[in-house]
Amino acid sequence: MGVEYRDLPFEEAIAFFRNKVNLPSGRWTDVWKDAHDSAFMAAGAAKADLLNDLRGAVDEAISQGTTLAQFRERFDETVERTGWEYRGGRGWRTRVIYETNLRSAYAAGRHAQLTDPDLLRVRPYWRYLHGGSRDPRPEHLKWDGLVLPADDPWWEEHYPPNGWGCSCKVVAVGPDDLARLGKEAPDEAPPVKRAPWQDTTGARQEDVPEGVDPGWNYAPGRGVAARTRETVERKRAGLPDVLATAMMAEIRRRLRETPDDLD
């Protein structure tokens, strides 16, 4: 299932991405887990002009809603101009760069919203929702509908996306929502089973939770959630009252699930 632009929490996702710095890299493991919150990279992209071009194309996708096809056009122009000899086929490589950055920005934007103290007071639980992938991971299906306190340690390694192509997400849940879901209390966190992993060079190795791809066992945006909210607040403060009110109403709407969504 492809990334859907309408799902992006615009202001927070944009702020998260634009707060990053470009970081040249040789391998995908050069930037690891929550370091992605502060660094923009594309494996093998070491030149400044190449990174700037790729970053601009991703920024357009997040802020303006350009499609994968449009991103590929920009990608082709960049490759032609810079002579970048990237690894993998064009279709696969462009999809990885496009979807990974959009999904991470979406997740980080949601995290900034979900951890807002005012929201946590009324919706102190998070609910895991499977994204409906055509080839789902069995663990992600098991986690679908799981409700845990927002501060449960389980989220530290299982806040989605939980791997390449994962489209799962988290929504805020309050006491009334629990009742409608037929739950008297939040669920208990599933036991975490781990398996050893190391990359082909041995430079990275760790025990990874089952159902989570290596390097994805972190919550995108957690380390910069407060900074992202501050960026949005500054923008809101500079808007006329009517626009600021409309922006915050849209954010609240995107966080609120309808009864049908919770059935």
Average pLDDT over residues 237-253: 62
Strand 205-209, strand 147-149: pairing: unpaired
Q: What is the pLDDT of residues 66-114, one digit of tens each?
A: 999 999 999 999 999 999 999 999 999 999 999 999 999 999 999 988 9
Q: Please give the pLDDT value at position 262.
A: 35
Share of the chain above pLDDT 90, in %: 71
Is the backbone peptide bond immediately before 186 cis, with ω within 30 degrees of 0?
no
Average pLDDT over residues 19-26: 92
Dihedrals φ, ψ of 195, to 5°?
-135, 140
Confidence of residue 9 (pLDDT cuts 50, 70, 90): low
**Domain ranges, residue 20:** 5-262
* Rounded (5°) CA angle 99-105-108: 135
Q: What is the pLDDT of residues 171-216, one digit of tens each?
A: 999 999 999 999 999 999 999 999 999 998 888 999 999 999 999 9
Residue 248 reports pLDDT greater than 80: no
Q: What is the pLDDT of residues 149-163, one digit of tens each?
A: 999 999 999 999 999
Q: Please give the pLDDT value at position 103.
A: 93
Residue 236 reports pLDDT greater than 80: no
Kindly state the helix (H) or strand (E) to which residue 129 belongs, with its residue range: strand 125-129
Taking the C-alpha atoms of residue 11 and residue 13, their distance in angstroms, rounded to an integer, is: 6
Asked whether the beta carbons of 161 and 176 are under 8 A apart, the reply is no
Kindly state the helix (H) or strand (E) to which residue 131 belongs, with its residue range: none
Q: Please give the pLDDT value at position 258.
A: 36
Q: Please give the pLDDT value at position 247.
A: 56
As for how many domains the chain has, the answer is: 1
109 Cβ contact partners less than 8 Å away, ≥ 6 residues apart: 8, 9, 10, 11, 12, 13, 14, 15, 16, 221, 228
Dihedrals φ, ψ of 73, to 5°?
-65, -45
CA 25 from centre of chain = 21
Dihedrals φ, ψ of 239, to 5°?
-95, 155
Confidence of residue 133 (pLDDT cuts 50, 70, 90): confident
